[in-house]
Amino acid sequence: MDLAGASAIVTGGAGGFGAATVRRLVEKGVRVVIADTAEERGKLLADSLGGNARYVHTDVTDEDSVKAALTAASEFGPLRVAVVVHGGPVAAARIVNRQGEPYPVETFRRTQEIFLTGTFTVLSRAAAVMAKNEPLDSGQRGVVITTASIAGYEGQVGQSDYSAAKGGVIGMNLTAARDLAPLGIRVMCIAPGTFFTPAYGLEEAEAEARFGSLVPNPKRMGRADEYARLAVHIAENDYLNGEVIRIDGALRFNLK
């Protein structure tokens, strides 16, 4: 898909994956809405990219907030690309702890709301905007790229809420691609492994020592720009549709 003159929205656009993706899209001539709740980082990123990016405060759990961000993106030009890569809090706790106490159902529900329902809200509302685009010569109107995790396949201890949400994103992918195919809208999903981002809350050397050595090859954590380059390739390659791509250096979260 030719990205020249197009607009895009990146939810979580001020974060590690998101900011790298915003930069790569701008390099391709796309004008991007940075949709995030991190106002300071989002505005700094937008300012660094001149008039090619705009920060819009966006809460993916609020449909009206998502719609406002999509409207802002459409003011830049036809919306051709939506990258759904926002983060959020997770339980990081066993379903029942050693004292026999379950963690609150509300915690589980909130994680699904952010990662699964939020993804569906952005995907569906972005697709509705793309459906109004004039098709390109290829017949394409746009692409939505969602973000899962290898935890959606092999969740670790304490990740039941996150694994369930990301597994839902994986399960939704092919159905969404088939639903939107008549409109010329593709849907793809990226499932990252252990990537070094600010979400770890660790210095890079410490994070690498703990997690990088577990990756078969290359023996290091992923870099946010590697996610971003894959996202841009997906956007440009019309024959990528309905698939989940693991980007994880062959890492598998297997208990020993």
pLDDT tens track, the chain, 256 positions: 999 999 999 999 999 999 999 999 999 999 999 999 999 999 999 999 999 999 999 999 999 999 999 999 999 999 999 999 999 988 889 999 999 999 999 999 999 999 999 999 999 999 999 999 999 999 999 999 999 999 999 988 999 999 999 999 999 999 999 999 999 999 999 999 999 877 667 788 888 888 888 898 999 999 999 999 999 999 999 999 999 999 999 999 775 4
CA distance 162 to 115: 8
Separation between Cα atoms, residue 146 and residue 118, nearest integer Å: 11
What secondary structure letter does DSSP report for 102? B
Predicted local distance difference test score (pLDDT) of residue 26: 98
* 3-class DSSP state of 140: coil
Report domain extents, the chain: 7-247
The pair of structure tokens assigned to 249 is 């250096």
Residue 10 CA: distances (Å) to CA of 94, 99, 105: 32, 41, 30
Based on the residue annotation, tell me whether 162 is a catalytic residue of this protein.
yes
Q: What gap in Å lies between CA 147 and CA 143, rounded to an integer?
A: 13
Query: Of 55, 162, 200, 227, which is the active-site residue?
Result: 162
| Bond prior to 218 in cis (omega within 30° of 0) | yes
pLDDT at position 66 is 98
d(CA 181, CA 97): 45
End-to-end CA distance of the chain: 44
CA pair distance 177, 242, nearest whole angstrom:
5
Classify residue 63 as exposed, middle or buried by CB count within 10 Å of its CB (0-12, 13-18, 19+): middle
Asked if 56 and 88 touch (Cβ cutoff 8 Å), the reply is no
CATH of domain 7-247: 3.40.50.720
Q: Angle CA(126)–CA(12)–CA(9) in degrees, nearest 5?
A: 35
Written as six digits, the tokens of 248 are: 């994880």
Count of positions (residues) in the chain = 256
3-state secondary structure of 86: coil
